[in-house]
Structure 1
Amino acid sequence: MPRLFTGLEIPSDIGFSLSLKRGGVPGARWIDPANYHITLRYIGDVDHRTADEVDDILARFAYAEPFALTIDHLGVFGGNKPRALYAGLAPSEALNRLQASHERMLQRVGLVPDGRKFVPHVTLARLKDTQPEDLAHHLSQTGRFPPLSFTVEHFVLFSSKESVGGGPYVVEQDYPLAA
């Protein structure tokens, strides 16, 4: 059974800039820059028939046009028990519309709604036993940076192998945004 999700690839130059934020956090398992992405909708483990239905509905998707995104800060999921360090995005109505469209389309093929709030981000590291003070120090040193902007011209259907997290991810299909 494939494990699938839809998302946006991160251009290599942006990935390189984000990779410079690596290091200096005890308990961090850093994600390889080749696996940086923005998840739009986690699908999970599905049978091949459902995977084909997902591909079919995504292939018929019509979205307005390419749009710009900006990565402009670092953040942490988990509060006092940090579990992930991420690069966050500036608010984008176009991205929110794209994600909401994915949610609606995937429910049409029988997937249950994703109950989590959409927080667009690029995971940089998975954290285990990392102290909040260590993260605060890291964020004070690397958290401020010039905005990193790029244009989204397509979205992809990713697959992943069951692993400890952080990839490897494979692009199964590419879907262009069209005006």
Structure 2
Amino acid sequence: MPRLFTAIEIPDDVGDALATYRGGLLGARWIDVENYHVTLRFIGDVDDDVAQEAAFELGRVRRAPFDVTIEGLDAFGGDRPRAIIARIAPSKDIVELQAELERLMRRVGLPSEKRKFAPHVTLARLRDASPRAVADYLGLRGGPARLSFRAERFVLFSSRDSVGGGPYVEEAAYPLR
């Protein structure tokens, strides 16, 4: 099975608003709007048995829908910027959902995620973009006014190992109820 991850999808209207920030940064590979998402748990390249067990475990999640708020633009990578992102305001709901997915994937036998959860939407991957150019880009753009949407489900996606991510295939969807 291909590379797997769980995510919250970005609604079309929010994606369209975020897409207005595309362009104006040398060395940026802009993510296609239809591939915008908030990664909850990267699962990785797993065999079919592990993929099926993970999909089954994800079906155990019982959580209510919740609001997701995008609070601004930022960059990952510090002195070696590697991505332009839209920051998601941390909330108890999204943090608890991510923690539950982490526990379920560890139950399946996957190693724990090493990076601290920082909810975001990747807008562009950067290659050879200078920290100054990224700072200028962020300073000029300012970022979106707070955009909010209701997360009604999360999705198990697969992807091929590719430059820039995508295309993503929905393998299963899990309603928040």
TM-score by length of 1: 0.96
* Aligned equivalents of 2:143, 2:58: Cα separation in 1: 36
Residue 48 (structure 1) aligned with residue 48 (structure 2): yes
2:87–2:120 Cα contact (<8 Å) kept:
yes
What is the deviation of 1:14?
0.3
Within 1, Cα distance between the matches of 2:8 and 2:143? 23
SS of the residue aligned with 1:171?
Answer: strand
Residue of structure 2 equivalent to 1:119: 118
* Paired AA for residue 111 in structure 1: L
Task: Name segments (4+ residues, structure 1) moved above 3 Å.
Answer: none
Q: What do residues 9-40 of structure 1 show as CA deviations (whole Å, max 9, x unaligned)?
A: 00000000000000000000000000000000
3-state secondary structure, aligned to 1:70: strand
Q: Which amino acid aligns with 2:163?
A: V
Structure 2-normalised TM-score? 0.97
Native 8 Å contact 2:7 2:38 kept in 1: yes
- Matched residues in 2 for 1:8 and 1:67: separation? 11
Match of 1:104 in 2: 103
The alignment covers a number of residue pairs equal to 177
Residue 75 of structure 1 aligns with which residue? 74
Tell me how far 1:166 sits from its aligned partner. 2.3
Match of 2:29 in 1: 29
Q: Distance in 2 between matches of 1:144 and 1:46?
A: 37
Give the alignment's Cα RMSD to 1 decimal. Answer: 0.8
Q: Which runs of 5+ in 2 are unaligned?
A: none
Question: Could you say what secondary structure the match of 2:86 adopts?
Answer: strand
**Structure 1: runs of 5+ lacking an equivalent:** none
Q: Give 1:131's aligned residue.
A: 130
In 1, the alpha carbon distance for the partners of 2:124 and 2:144 equals 18
